Structure 1
């Protein structure tokens, strides 16, 4: 297996060689012993609720990985929030799915973390446009994962062209500092951009390349006139100082000249804290590393039933479980064969039956589910 870039090919994921070596040695050992037990395995992050919700993503890829295997799978739907207990459950003969554990956990762990971070950003600035600018922080082969997770978490768009082609969405973005530097002065660059790009592309001028943000914003407004839709402030951290004051100053000076119509967009090292601090002044945000670099969630897969009997390793809970959303927005975990909590909504639903996917995957529906569930559980609520 070789390639120009260090990207594991899809074929290796599909055939299960994108795995940890000990799973292949486990296969060899069980096969030599003619042992292949029927098991139930669950994927969990925490055993019990902790009060901290995360957003589930990556289920589509998990389903496609397990498709055509002789197993039954139940899972929480993408776009639902969870807090302890299983998010996905597999029932079948162990050797039919053992080698897929590594990739399965990777699909869920990485994209759930990205989607959760995106939802945090979305909730921090609910009335502003928030775009994902983080693809540059990850291996190019992961850009689609980043941007799909960003959309699922509720962000309004993203900047990566190839990810847009993969997801059937159009990438957004206007101009970098490099364009201004290439022309040598701001006015020439802004005018050239206005002359070159399609009319439907917003005219948002980068406004902090060679001089301060106020000066360049006013010059952009004078240069492009009514064609100017907005200015983007991407001030380097070493020059930023009191960023809120800078934004207020730009807004003041634009308004003083009758340019209330010019929106202000900001980017560069932003997370939920900065979005909350600036959201009353800013029309749009570009969020990068906070979303794309989110630490993967620590999921694990554990056998909880062996040949029909409850079993578990130390520190894990035996028996087949179900997770519920309670009417008060709580998360309840219990044994699947016991009474439901009163009014509880079971979260794990059929995903695969005897190798066939029995669920549709709609990104817009998952995004709406995330929004509704975040409201229901009070996700990361802050003033």
Structure 2
């Protein structure tokens, strides 16, 4: 059946507010029937007070796309800033303008921020190594661009998903899978490496996968001999069930390459790696592919709560009433206070105007390039 549809909620359904929880539709119907549509301030928060556990904000571009065109004013922390408690986004306007958008808004921010935070953890674990995002295969393909954009925002050097690259305007990276080697057959690894070298564009690095049929050291030596000076690097992706002492294996590989005068050949590692493994291996490897640790990161547990009605403070139990501001001090601390009260000394306000009267503010910079710079700067400032 060639026209069998994918289970994908369309962008139109998201923009129209159909991608919502049923109780928001019922809330909307009830308020309209009661002729009630109060002017509210609502804030997106993960934690009420700072606790020293910073997370990286992402998803603001998509939030702006969702909320624009509605009779609202929105302030937000720019993407790429680290936050610790308090609001990351605030909406002010008639409640019915955004009630049914809450589900999608929280999903856009929660998922992207969780991925970006995990990517930043990987980046900080191996600051001098090449780190690539290899995890798009672990998520639904419809969100691959979200994964890769968020991973880049967190500081990784590249990603593997081709269509995601089309969406975000970046070129995907990657060389060869085990399937390529297997197609040539056991004992014919050299044929696979040489065929790859002869067929791919010159600007693609010649990185040979060297752990398919035999010992990693054996295949690395054979790849170096087969490709000679054209070999840029080797990748070791040995499955965990066969890995043993991974650090010792990589040290052996490095030794054998150096013994043959191939200090120029880089070693890249992949397969079930996270920050702990990157810290343990960063002194003997040149780069890493990080998959599920980034792509399958736990979403940030954001909630959206009304904190004022007609400028009067209000909240449900367990939440802080009143419209709030968030600040970063010069020493990297995160502070929360009521809007309009005195800011902490030597601090900057983190929330900036994003939307006014339904239109996105031109000066709000949510570009990926700027967000990447913010993330690196903030990570150093707060010692993430």
Q: Same fold (TM over 0.5)?
A: yes
Structure 2 Cα separation of the partners of residues 148 and 4 of structure 1: 26
Say which SS state the counterpart of residue 174 (structure 1) adopts: coil
Q: 1:269 aligns with which of 268, 272, 276?
A: 272
Contact 2:78 2:366 in 1 (8 A): no
Aligned residue number for residue 376 of structure 2: 371
Cα distance per residue 1:290-309 (max 9 Å; x no partner)? 00000111000000001221
Name the structure 2 match of 1:107. Answer: 108
Q: Deviations over 1:98-136 (max 9, x none)?
A: 000000000000000000000000000011110000000
1:229 pairs, out of 229, 232, 239, with 232
User: Residues of 2 paired with 1:242 and 1:331: CA distance?
Assistant: 41
Q: How many residue pairs end up in the alignment?
A: 378
Tell me the equivalent position of 2:367: 362
Gaps of 5+ in 2: none
Question: Within 2, Cα distance between the matches of 1:98 and 1:344?
Answer: 33
Give the drift of 1:344.
Answer: 1.2
Which digits, 9 at most, give the CA deviation of each residue in 1:261-308, with x for residues without a partner? 100000000000000000011111000000000011100000000122
Distance in 2 between residues matched to 1:196 and 1:368, nearest whole Å: 36
- Using the alignment, how far apart are the partners of 1:318 and 1:288 within structure 2? 40
RMSD: 0.8
CA distance in 2, matches of 1:228, 1:37: 66
| TM-aligned CA deviation for residue 360 of structure 1 | 3.3
1:305 to 303, 308, 333: 308
TM-score, normalised to structure 1's length?
Answer: 0.98
Equivalent residue, structure 2, for 1:321 = 324
Deviation at 1:3, TM superposition (A): 6.5
Please give the per-residue CA displacement for 1:292-339, whole angstroms capped at 9, x wherever unaligned.
000111000000001221000000000000000011110000101110
Contact 2:273 2:291 in 1 (8 A): yes
How far does residue 343 in structure 1 lie from its aligned partner after superposition? 1.2
Cα drift, residue 81 of structure 1: 0.2
1:209 and 2:209 aligned: no
Residues 1-383 of structure 1 aligned to structure 2 (within 5 Å): 4-184=5-185, 185-358=188-361, 359-379=364-384
TM-score, structure 2 length as denominator?
0.98
Instruction: Pick closer, same or farther for the CA change 1:238–1:130 going to 2, 3 Å.
Output: same
Deviation at 1:90, TM superposition (A): 0.2
Displaced runs of 4 or more, over 4 A: none
**Structure 1 SS opposite 2:252:** helix
Cα distance per residue 1:30-74 (max 9 Å; x no partner): 000000000000000000001000000000000010001000000
Distance 2:37 2:83 in 1: 32
